[in-house]
């Protein structure tokens, strides 16, 4: 015999538990629960005790008006209390979870480590995913994030749910009221990081530089060091600091965005900066946080070892100073010492030390910007004062890759046994580097560019690329250190070891002794001074070899020259696009290209080619004699003739915005008075 169900609590009833629904109970259920019942329905004993005394208590005619009002008040009170605990009676097509106190509604595993889902999470899941998590549901803590304030998205996607929900009036009213409350808060409340589910990874990267997982992981490290205040929570405090660094907005604008006072913004930045400097920076920045062996094994590119190192146990560090601009100070002494004659503006200089993959080893300083604090003086100060125990970290024969600004510190590095790698200088009487010097400089620049990319990564946090007020000078070192530590912890390396590094290094070494340069031939035959009579002018070349992008990269040994090629060619072909072929020597081409820096200077480029390959090249620019790769002028000609002319594009480079500007130099020529029409009329 099938079991019957209570019309109110939906409990399965045995034979002795059934109570028939009489007229009074049916009337009560219809009035207070909007339920239509029949004579075949049953109600359990517990539910009948709630409604039977009220429904059966019919006032007699002898009852006075006072007692009748009292009975009506009791009935109203009973109905109100019953409505607050009304059983599920309304079926809606909304997904819902299972109800159980003994097992998790997601993974179905039994307790005891299961918890009640907080009400705010239940409401947020309903709003975002349309799933009702009942108050009776229980869940494992492993399905939440580490702060227990949000479900993992993967768990909700894979969760099994019911297609229908049984709700009562109370639950529906609560969901409606809570939805209204959230809607009103979202319309009135300003920006906050308390509800992380409202942000996507892309949103957080744009606002803070970190995605959601990285932001929450960082917050977990500093949560105990940042206090909650009535104006903001600790997670919002961290978000304000990162938002300030990433977007570079003023405290006045941040006050409007977060709806708190400017003084509270300042305190939030101070608290977050102090917590990050105490916890994150020592663990991810400085010579003490990483060993020399870790730098060699994990943060050294194979190409750098093959080009510069004699053995695999040499640490290679790349050094360079970066600039943080500041306002001019009213303190004249500080104004003089912070003014850079190189940049012609006040600034401070942190010294950046990175590995060949772009990993920040240390940030030292910041230093003054006057002539006594050039890059060489700063490095001498670091080594002589043994800052951060750098002398005990490095070993003799380690390599420092530097630029020409460190030339005065070369002797000190040699005394300490440090191998210094620096681009070569031109002599005063020379106008062009020799082939050996140009090739050696290319070896250095092939490794050193990573520190420039690291400095650019720092300036992606816009606050450090702005001109800072002088009252922020005491904290500039902390800001730069925090950004570098976050880059080490969360961002990928700028330059990783690749499979072709060894092949690329061997190609560069082979070209040191390769006969690829036309310099001797051009100088011997004085081709730079020969008249145009020895050359044939043509607008196109049909016999120039067609080259792929891979071959172009092999010829240039990099991508920087290829990126500039379209801009060089754009200026060249805007006029008369002519190529000069030698009349007597087949496959010898000469092209004149305009310098991109100086309007009065141009460079001659020679190419020697056959049907399949570019054999040799030479340019009159400063680095044009090198055989390890090409200069930008040679790369532009090879790119245009070998690949660009074979594409469907008719324009190159970037848009010329000069057409939207006026030119003050374009004045009409003066006319002699004797040539004017007025003089003719008078005659």
User: Could you read off the pLDDT of 401-422 as tens digits, one per residue?
Assistant: 999 999 999 999 999 999 999 9
User: Is 571 in contact with 562 (CB distance < 8 Å)?
Assistant: no
Contacts of 580 (CB under 8 A, 6+ apart): 532, 535, 536, 537, 538, 589, 590, 591
Joined together, the tokens standing for residue 355 give 């590995």
d(CA 281, CA 487): 11
d(CA 383, CA 408): 13
The two beta strands, 131-132 and 95-96, are parallel
Please give the pLDDT value at position 131.
82
d(CA 453, CA 542): 40
* Mean pLDDT within 233-257: 94
d(CA 9, CA 13): 11
Place of tokens 């744009």: 206
Joined together, the tokens standing for residue 153 give 């998205």
Please give the pLDDT value at position 66.
43
Q: Which domains does the chain have, with CATH numbers?
A: 4-87 (no CATH), 91-188 (no CATH), 196-284 (1.10.10), 292-498 (3.30.420.10), 514-658 (no CATH)
User: Is 14 in contact with 3 (CB distance < 8 Å)?
Assistant: yes
Please give the pLDDT value at position 448.
94
The DSSP secondary structure of 609-624, one letter per residue, reads: E-SS-EEEEEESSTTT
Residue 392 has pLDDT above 70, yes or no: yes
Question: Hey, how many other C-beta atoms are within 10 angstroms of the C-beta on 418?
Answer: 20
The two beta strands, 316-321 and 138-140, are unpaired
Alpha-carbon torsion, ordered 672, 674, 678, 681, to 10 deg: -160
d(CA 290, CA 300): 13
Q: Tens digit of pLDDT for each residue in 305-336?
A: 999 998 889 999 999 999 999 999 999 999 99
Please give the pLDDT value at position 673.
61
Please give the pLDDT value at position 58.
45
Burial class (CB in 10 A: 0-12, 13-18, 19+), 160: exposed
Residue 79 has pLDDT above 50, yes or no: no
Phi, psi for residue 487 in degrees, rounded to 5: -65, -45
**372 φ/ψ sector (left φ>0, alpha ψ -120 to 50, else beta):** alpha
Model pTM? 0.73
Q: Vertex 435, ends 432 and 441: CA angle to 5°?
A: 85
Find the DSSP H helices in 137-233.
153-158, 169-188, 201-208, 212-222
Query: Prior bond to 570 cis, omega within 30?
Result: no
- Strands in 322-474 per DSSP E: 324-325, 339-340, 345-354, 360-367, 399-401, 419-421
Q: Tens digit of pLDDT for each residue in 175-201?
A: 788 777 777 666 556 788 888 878 889
């Amino acid at each position: 015999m099938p079991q019957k169900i209570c019309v109110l609590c939906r409990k399965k009833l045995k034979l002795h538990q059934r109570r028939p629904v009489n007229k009074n109970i049916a009337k009560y259920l219809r009035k207070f629960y909007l339920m239509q019942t029949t004579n075949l329905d049953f109600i359990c004993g517990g539910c009948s005790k709630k409604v039977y005394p009220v429904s059966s208590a019919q006032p007699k005619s002898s009852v006075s008006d006072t007692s009748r009002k009292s009975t009506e008040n009791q009935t109203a009170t009973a109905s109100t209390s019953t409505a607050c605990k009304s059983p599920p009676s309304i079926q809606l097509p909304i997904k819902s979870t299972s109800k159980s106190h003994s097992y998790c509604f997601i993974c179905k595993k039994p307790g005891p480590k299961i918890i009640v889902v907080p009400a705010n999470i239940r409401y947020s899941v309903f709003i975002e995913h349309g799933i009702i998590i009942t108050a009776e549901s229980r869940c494992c803590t492993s399905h939440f994030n580490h702060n227990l304030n949000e479900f993992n998205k993967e768990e909700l996607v894979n969760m099994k749910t019911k297609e229908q929900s049984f709700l009562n009036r109370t639950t529906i009213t609560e969901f409606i009221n809570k939805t209204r409350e959230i809607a009103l808060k979202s319309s009135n409340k300003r920006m906050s990081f308390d509800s992380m589910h409202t942000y996507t990874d892309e949103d957080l990267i744009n606002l803070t530089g970190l995605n959601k997982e990285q932001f929450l992981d960082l917050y977990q490290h500093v949560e105990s060091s940042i206090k909650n205040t009535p104006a903001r929570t600790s997670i919002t405090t961290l978000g304000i600091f990162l938002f300030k660094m990433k977007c570079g907005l003023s405290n006045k604008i941040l006050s409007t965005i977060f709806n708190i006072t400017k003084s509270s913004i300042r305190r939030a930045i101070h608290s977050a900066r102090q917590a990050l400097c105490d916890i994150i920076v020592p663990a991810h920045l400085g010579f003490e946080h990483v060993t020399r062996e870790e730098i060699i094994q994990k943060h050294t590119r194979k190409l750098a070892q093959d080009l510069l190192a004699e053995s695999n146990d040499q640490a290679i560090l790349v050094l360079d100073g970066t600039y943080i601009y500041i306002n001019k100070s009213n303190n004249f002494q500080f104004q003089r010492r912070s003014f850079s004659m190189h940049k012609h503006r006040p600034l401070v200089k942190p010294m950046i030390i990175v590995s060949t993959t772009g990993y920040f080893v240390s940030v030292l300083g910041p230093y003054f910007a006057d002539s006594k604090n050039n890059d060489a003086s700063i490095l001498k100060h670091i080594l002589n004062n043994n800052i951060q125990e750098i002398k005990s970290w490095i070993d003799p024969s380690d390599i420092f890759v530097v630029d020409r600004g460190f030339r005065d510190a070369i002797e000190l590095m040699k005394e300490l046994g440090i191998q210094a790698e620096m681009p070569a200088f031109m002599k005063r009487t020379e106008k062009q580097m020799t082939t050996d010097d140009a090739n050696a400089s290319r070896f250095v620049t092939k490794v050193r560019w990573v520190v420039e990319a690291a400095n650019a990564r720092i300036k992606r946090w816009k606050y450090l690329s702005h001109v800072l007020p002088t009252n922020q000078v005491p904290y500039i070192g902390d800001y730069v250190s925090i950004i570098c530590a976050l880059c080490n912890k969360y961002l990928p390396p700028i330059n990783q070891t690749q499979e072709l590094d060894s092949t690329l290094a061997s190609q560069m070494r082979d070209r040191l002794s390769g006969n690829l340069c036309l310099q001797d031939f051009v100088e011997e035959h004085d081709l730079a001074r020969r008249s145009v009579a020895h050359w044939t002018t043509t607008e196109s070349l049909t016999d120039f070899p067609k080259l792929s992008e891979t071959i172009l990269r092999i010829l240039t040994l990099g991508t920087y020259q290829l990126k500039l090629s379209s801009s060089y060619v754009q200026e060249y072909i805007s006029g008369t696009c002519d190529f000069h072929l030698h009349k007597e020597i087949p496959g010898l081409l000469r092209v004149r290209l305009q310098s991109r820096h100086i309007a009065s200077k141009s460079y001659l480029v020679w190419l020697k080619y056959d049907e399949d390959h570019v054999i040799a090249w030479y340019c009159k620019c400063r680095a044009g004699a090198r055989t390890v790769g090409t200069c930008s002028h040679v790369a532009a000609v090879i790119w245009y003739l070998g690949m660009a002319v074979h594409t469907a594009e008719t324009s190159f480079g970037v848009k010329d915005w000069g057409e939207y500007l006026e030119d003050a130099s374009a004045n009409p020529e003066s006319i002699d008075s004797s040539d004017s029409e007025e003089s003719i009329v008078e005659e």
